[in-house]
Chain A
Amino acid sequence: EVQLVESGGGLVQSGGSLRLSCAASGFTFRNYWMHWVRQVPGQGLMWVSRISGDGSDTSYADSVKGRFTISRDNAKNTLYLQMSRLRADDTTVYYCSRGGAFSYGPFDYWGQGILVTVSS
């Protein structure tokens, strides 16, 4: 059974940093692109970042470019999102999700989500 479990969220001050983790199981992690998606509670979904299976290719939404860094450790089956220079509008629920074997692919499995709150 595919499982994605996020951790590392919480309360952080504006300008601070936080690292989210997503532990993956039930599939061959290195074979899949992985994504981070965020959602303000009660609002829509916004794609944040993606990373290729081998970690060599990454992309970011304009709103987080230069502040967030996505990475992965295929030996540990874990995806990361290092967030720095956090702002109040980064306060959302963050989901990790599995993409396809190629750069294009629907997000077929999602974690339960983790809340990040940035206080000003």
Chain B
Amino acid sequence: VLTQSPGTLSLSPGERATLSCRASQTISINYLAWYQQKPGQAPRLLIYAASTRATGIPDRFSGGGSGTDFTLTISRLEPEDFAVYYCQEYGISPPSTFGQGTQLEIK
């Protein structure tokens, strides 16, 4: 089980956002990804292997952590960053699980 916190995060453009994802068991080899989803759109891969940015993702997005505790940090929020963010474990054995999401909203 992946538990994301907070459920909702209210910040202003230019501020720093830190989102948390906690796993109930150790995630092997950091098979942990982060996705961004905007209304009416499919999820978009941001980070994989806990800290590797996907192709085309701006460097204001960074991932960290290991074991059971992971974070997604957005260094300076841009207007287009306000969305829902999900973490995911994608290990060798199924099922792949997603966290319940963090809504990042404009303050």
Contact = CB atoms under 8 A, between A and B. Distances in A.
Contact of B100 (A44, A111, A113): A44
A103 B28 CA distance: 14
Contact of A61 (B45, B55, B91, B95): B95
Given A44-B100, A45-B98, A61-B95, A106 B43 contact: no
Given A95-B42, A112-B42, A113-B42, A106 B90 contact: yes
Nearest to A113: B42
A104 B95 CA distance: 11
Interface residues of B, number: 25
Taking residues whose C-beta sits less than 8 angstroms from the other chain, chain A's interface range is: 20 to 34
A47 interface: yes
A36 to B, nearest CB: 11
A109 B55 CA distance: 11
A24 B21 CA distance: 31
Interface in B34-53: 35, 42-45, 48-49
A110 B41 CA distance: 10
9 contacts: A44-B86, A47-B95, A99-B90, A103-B92, A104-B31, A106-B49, A106-B88, A107-B33, A110-B43
Interface of B: 31, 33, 35, 42-45, 48-49, 54-55, 86, 88, 90-101
